[in-house]
Structure 1
């Protein structure tokens, strides 16, 4: 086993620190911009005064604190969660084309959430318990199906994984549509559109608690599992020789990834490609070791979705474009670029 020269380690730590600091500054700037821009434009200085409590009575206070800030924070939490899950899934299946959206996990979570809505579970329990629970069940089912189909015959290829994910995603989307048609309640189509396209418009302060708690718990657990995740990068046999029970470890982390994805989808709908693009960029910036990769992916995902939602609110104002549409418009070409690199022999 090769070891990095001692002189290289401080340089690596310095680069990681610089990347994290840059992302924090960029995220703070993006949050202020997202709070300032919209159908009502608010001077950035006024936004900062409201956030720090230095502003006196202001007509902008309600807009900033009660309307835009929960939406911006939810975007940051969901973006961070999807990016972290994407980075972990890419390690688990040893393929950088993996992502919660492409593997059908997001579609499964959306289908589970819509099932809860169609069954008519009403009241506060829908948003706090039943909706995330339904999304988790759907996400876990989708992941089991995709992984089982892709691993047929004891081997798993990247192409088979993506094809299985696309197939399961289409099936679950069709099932969601069928449930809505049979339910015979036209108003539920609007809710289904929200889950299928993704959006942050319904964000409220109380809807932030569960996603934020699950994100903090998930990142904390995954950071403790950074070394086993790194071992998976050397291959199945190498990880086993080094003492890792790969089957049990994968199963446990798959469940955790499904839980995080489900909670994020329950809060925002299915937002695609954040989990594909951001981990790839983070890996290029700080390398593959997960103790460095996961925090950078979380910050990058938060920044990406805050900016995407800002564009969704302002590009066609006063029309609010579903943020999942914009992430798909940018993520689709990025996916094709990765596929072309794979075809050209680049390591993924």
Structure 2
């Protein structure tokens, strides 16, 4: 099993010190581990480097991921491979209209031998949970999962049960087939740190997949790069990446511009601004930097902000898209002129 080489200040199996700001040595180690994690998962999800990087950015930012994709693009394979690479556990829940909250969170069952209720954990008690077609379940069931995402614990019969760390939900929606679905409300969409799409592989990747068709993607075991505990440590390190005041000002101007756009009925919330800073820190560390630059914010603006915008129906009818509006906002909002460094 591969092991990772860690600087003296960042031991693998114990929590690293939390300095006021990440050091350049820590940033280099973070980037090396991040790259190895991405490379490992790429063996399963060919030609999807960008999506894999976003997925690990969400995991190391302690957030959740929303995938809007058609069936058969490798969503389950992505969740399994990520869990294997960090020695974590994974579970998959197929959302259907008859799914109950207890089917996700778990239930208390009376044990006659002990004359007490015993809690039986649901599939949400895993490091990476794939919530497949989340919009097919009832709003009550959706809310049960989203509550766990926000609180990191399940409360049943007055007793709280932490789901543990790391914990990440990868939820999927089919953007084509909408019959019999329950659209996620805007307040619930806001709980997802990032939204992206895997999409179909390019021609060369498709050829490689066909050449290896004798072997199923489920048969491929991704080598463990780090233990799950180190994921928690890396998330703590990412929080210490330096953010210059000019970057905070830039993010504030971006979200304010999203609220002022004529095509938008509801712009990005403060939670969206915080999410953009949080993921920009992780992206900076993944690139070996201990400080955030404007390009980090630009690279993440669309996956972090687009799903938080509610468009005006007339603008949407005329062909406006949330991604297009974010792209226009980036053009019209000037970034800081100088590179901030810690």
Q: Please say whether Structure 1 and Structure 2 have the same fold, judged by a TM-score greater than 0.5.
A: no
Structure with greater helix percent: 1
Structure of higher RCO (CA pairs closer than 8 Å, 6+ residues apart): 1
- Bigger proportion of residues as strand: 2
Q: TM-score, normalised by structure 1?
A: 0.28
Structure-2-length-normalised TM-score: 0.28
